[in-house]
């Protein structure tokens, strides 16, 4: 499969930045990958970032497991010409249905790291616990299995945050606040820990906390996933390393640019401020 050379965004000016020698790819249906890429960039800013989104086919939640598997395989394969040192599946639904297939196809050559809702640490910190997720996830055997395995003795409530992922994807702040208010109204009083069961939700965690109050602790997974990614590729955190940045953006397999909508979120603004590196697929790993 041939992927054309990514191009520098039209707003980017100045000399070409030096290419990083290692890079990590992130795959997701949409903008949920921003928080995960941002967390890794904070720990190892010298790693190049390849971001593969699939807006043509989102949301993944209502799709069959086989559809999700094929879509996430396609998104991951699109990153391979950029020779990533690892691929992070920054999507809970895709991790559930596609992680085994990705690892069977790509490992050991390219480590694949998945995401799982942080129910175990939330339960360990004490309940009651609420899990905000898409309607498909809240009713899934997968979520029930996680609760049974890690929070059987802790009151746990699954809350469908209807429309929130789509609102985050659109960058519509009014719609985001309306969806958060809806989910907050269905979250039992007294909840001490909130698990974010969709990677999109972490982009608006401040707005979620404002709706629920300061007594709630949010549990999300970008930093643990970033640390696991570094372990898998044999690197230690080094926040002082020379900064690389975004090397490629793929939209449903097509080379694209850094969208302006990313500026709606702190994680997106930080990535937009990082260097943008032009490089040809298939150059140094």
Architecture, CATH, for domain 119-220: 3-Layer(aba) Sandwich (3.40)
CA separation for the pair 226, 41 (Å, rounded): 9
Q: pTM value?
A: 0.88
For the chain, the domains span 23-115+223-273, 119-220
More confident residue, 257 or 77: 77
Share of the chain above pLDDT 90, in %: 77
CA separation for the pair 240, 255 (Å, rounded): 30
Ranking 11-25, 82-96, 161-175 by mean pLDDT, the lowest is 11-25
CA angle 268, 219, 245 (to 5 degrees): 25
Are 281 and 3 within 8 A, CB to CB? yes
Are 48 and 245 within 8 A, CB to CB? yes
Whether 119-220 and 23-115+223-273 are alike in CATH topology: the answer is yes
b/e string for 186-220 if b means 16 or more Cβ within 10 A? Answer: ebeeebbbbbbbbbbbbbbbebbeebbeeebbbbb
Q: How far is CA 81 from CA 5, 45, 84, 225, in A?
A: 10, 21, 8, 23
Helix (H) or strand (E) holding 58: none
Over the chain, what is the mean pLDDT? 89
The two tokens of residue 250 are 């793929």
Are 43 and 237 within 8 A, CB to CB? yes
pLDDT given at position 260: 74
Residue 22: CB partners within 8 Å, gap ≥ 6?
A: 46, 47, 48, 85, 233, 235, 285
pLDDT given at position 277: 62
Indicate which residues carry an active-site annotation: 91, 198
Sign of the torsion angle spanned by Cα atoms 238, 43, 94, 2: negative
Whether residue 8 is predicted with pLDDT greater than 50 in this model: the reply is no
CA separation for the pair 216, 101 (Å, rounded): 36
CATH, domain 23-115+223-273, list 3.90.550.10, 3.40.50.1860, 1.20.120.450, 3.40.50.150: 3.40.50.1860
Q: Find the distance separating the first CA and the last CA of the chain, reported in whole Å.
A: 18
pLDDT given at position 62: 85
């Amino acid at each position: 499969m041939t992927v054309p050379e990514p191009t520098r965004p039209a707003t980017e000016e100045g000399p070409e930045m030096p290419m990083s020698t290692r890079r990590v790819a992130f795959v997701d249906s949409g903008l949920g990958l921003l928080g995960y890429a941002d967390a890794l960039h904070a720990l190892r800013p010298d790693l190049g970032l390849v971001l593969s989104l699939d807006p043509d086919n989102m949301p993944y939640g209502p799709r069959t497991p086989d559809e999700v598997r094929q879509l996430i395989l396609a998104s991951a394969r699109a990153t391979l010409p950029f020779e990533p040192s690892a691929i992070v599946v920054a999507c809970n639904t895709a991790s559930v249905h596609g992680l085994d297939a990705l690892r069977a196809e790509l490992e050991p050559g390219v480590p694949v790291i998945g995401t799982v809702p942080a129910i175990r640490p939330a339960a360990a910190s004490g309940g009651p616990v609420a899990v905000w997720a898409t309607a498909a996830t809240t009713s899934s055997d997968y979520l029930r299995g996680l609760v049974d395995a890690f929070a059987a003795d802790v009151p746990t409530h699954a809350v469908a945050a209807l429309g929130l992922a789509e609102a985050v994807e659109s960058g519509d702040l009014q719609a985001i606040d309306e969806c958060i208010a809806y989910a907050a109204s269905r979250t039992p009083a007294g909840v001490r820990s909130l698990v974010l069961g969709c990677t999109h939700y972490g982009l608006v965690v401040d707005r979620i906390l404002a709706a629920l109050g300061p007594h709630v602790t949010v549990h999300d997974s970008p930093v643990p996933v970033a640390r696991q990614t570094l372990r898998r590729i044999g690197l230690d955190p080094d926040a002082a390393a020379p900064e690389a940045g975004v090397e490629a953006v793929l939209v449903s397999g097509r080379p694209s640019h850094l969208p302006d909508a990313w500026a709606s979120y702190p994680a997106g603004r930080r990535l937009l401020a990082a260097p943008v590196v032009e490089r040809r697929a298939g150059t140094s790993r």
